[in-house]
Amino acid sequence: MRMARRLLLGATLPAVIAPLRAQPLPLIRVGVLRFGTVSWEIDVIRNHGLDSAAHISIEPVELAAAQAAQVALQAGGVDVIVADWLFVARQRGAGADWTFVPFSNAVGALLAPAASPVRDVPDLVGRTLGIAGSPLDKSWLILRAYAEQKYGIDLNAEVSKSFGPPPLLAEQMKSGRLDALLTFWPYAAKAEAAGAHRILAVEDAVTALGVDPGVPYIGYIFSQHWAEQNPALIEGFIAASRAARALLATSDAEWQRVRPLTGAGEDGELERLRDWYRRGMPKHWDAPERHAAAQLFDLMAKIGGAELVGPITAVPPGTFWPVTW
């Protein structure tokens, strides 16, 4: 090793005498939300130098909310955000050039407090249900379709609905003001750790509705034009992302390291978040999963109509960036 170092030093001696300034790695600005799942992955990438190994530099840009992330992307304040691919499809239908790479197949779950009388979907009739998001949230539309198809129940008419942000609804369920809660998976994981009972995962409802498994729900979104102009940049980013995900899939120690970013309190919360994250990791992304996404689009368009998907009748070409694994 000493001889190799002397040889290397001798080979680079002219550069020491007349140093050349190293070229900075090309930068990708990624919009993240505080305590959001994307921030965990970006932290793993940067901590382990996975971005520099892919010949890129990643800069997280903290944003206040999902809407702020969309605005930042449209305004050129960031290069990449994470969002729903249905948003991408609708935007492409309106002339935008956003495109999508899967980030997670997890979406959320229907839960009830341990003491709640709600143990299955039919038990929701006549009860109070908290719903994270808006009346057009995909989890709510999927649950409505599931209840109608399996039990012949119109949940929209049969439950007392309360829409709102997940943290507020979580507090309402804790205080006993909700009989059940339909929420996003990180909040579902924390609620389960606190003793809530999982009635139905939204992904399982989708499968029960006849959609093939493996469909992604959220992913990295960026401009198609930007990616086509910078193919090595986006390829490096995808490679770094997958390498970080592989670490989070196998290393419990890595979860302890990112624990402050997750907002987890007790060990049980961190374990639930880890298990939900791992369960939702996209293991394959190819023609079968794209077909499943098209099936889900047809289902969502039927339930939500033009108010959800706009004027488009199918997933527009280019919605999914041409990468496979």
Q: Give dist(CA 41, CA 52) in Å, integer.
A: 15
| Residue range 63-69: mean pLDDT, rounded | 92
Whether the predicted pLDDT of 301 surpasses 90: yes
Work out the end-to-end distance of the chain between its first and last CA atoms, rounded to an integer number of angstroms. 39
Whether the predicted pLDDT of 15 surpasses 60: no
Q: What is the SS3 assignment for 18-76?
A: CCCCCCCCCEEEEEEECCCHHHHHHHHHHHCCHHHHCCCEEEEEEECCHHHHHHHHHHC
CB 213 within 8 A of CB 159: no
pLDDT on residue 136 = 93
Q: Are strands 180-184 and 108-112 parallel, antiparallel or unpaired?
A: antiparallel
**Contacts of 202 by beta carbon, 8 Å cutoff, 6+ apart:** 107, 108, 109, 110, 139, 142, 143, 182
In terms of Cα–Cα distance, which of 49, 78, 73 is closest to 240? 49
pLDDT on residue 34 = 82
Q: Give dist(CA 189, CA 37) in Å, integer.
A: 12
Q: Give dist(CA 154, CA 146) in Å, integer.
A: 10
DSSP code per residue over 110-135: EEE-TT-S--SGGGGTTSEEEEES-T
Longest pairwise C-alpha distance within the chain: 81
| Residue range 137-153: mean pLDDT, rounded | 97
Please write the tens of the pLDDT for every residue from 209-226.
Answer: 999 999 999 999 999 999
Beta strands in 144-212 (DSSP E): 160-164, 180-184, 197-201
Whether the predicted pLDDT of 49 surpasses 50: yes
CATH code of the region 27-105+214-309: 3.40.190.10
Which tokens belong to 215?
């469909």
| Residue range 28-57: mean pLDDT, rounded | 95
Please write the tens of the pLDDT for every residue from 261-299.
Answer: 999 999 999 999 999 999 999 999 999 999 999 999 999
Q: How far is CA 177 from the centre of its chain?
A: 29
CB 121 within 8 A of CB 259: no
- Structural fold of domain 108-208: D-Maltodextrin-Binding Protein; domain 2 (3.40.190)
Beta strands in 214-316 (DSSP E): 218-223
Domain map (residue ranges) of the chain: 27-105+214-309, 108-208
pLDDT on residue 95 = 94
**Contacts of 272 by beta carbon, 8 Å cutoff, 6+ apart:** 189, 190, 192, 193
Q: Name which residue leads in pLDDT, 153 or 67.
A: 153
Q: Do the domains spanning 27-105+214-309 and 108-208 agree at the CATH topology level?
A: yes
Q: Give dist(CA 67, CA 240) in Å, integer.
A: 26
- Count of beta carbons in the 10 Å neighbourhood of residue 21: 5
**Contacts of 42 by beta carbon, 8 Å cutoff, 6+ apart:** 30, 32, 58, 60, 244
CA 227, 232, 234, 238 torsion-angle sign: positive
Whether the predicted pLDDT of 2 surpasses 50: no
Q: How far is CA 119 from the centre of its chain?
A: 28
Whether the predicted pLDDT of 7 surpasses 60: no
pLDDT on residue 21 = 55
| Residue range 53-58: mean pLDDT, rounded | 97
Average pLDDT, the chain: 92
The percentage of the chain sitting over the pLDDT mark of 70, rounded to a whole number, equals: 93
Residue 165's pLDDT band, with cuts at 50, 70 and 90, is very high
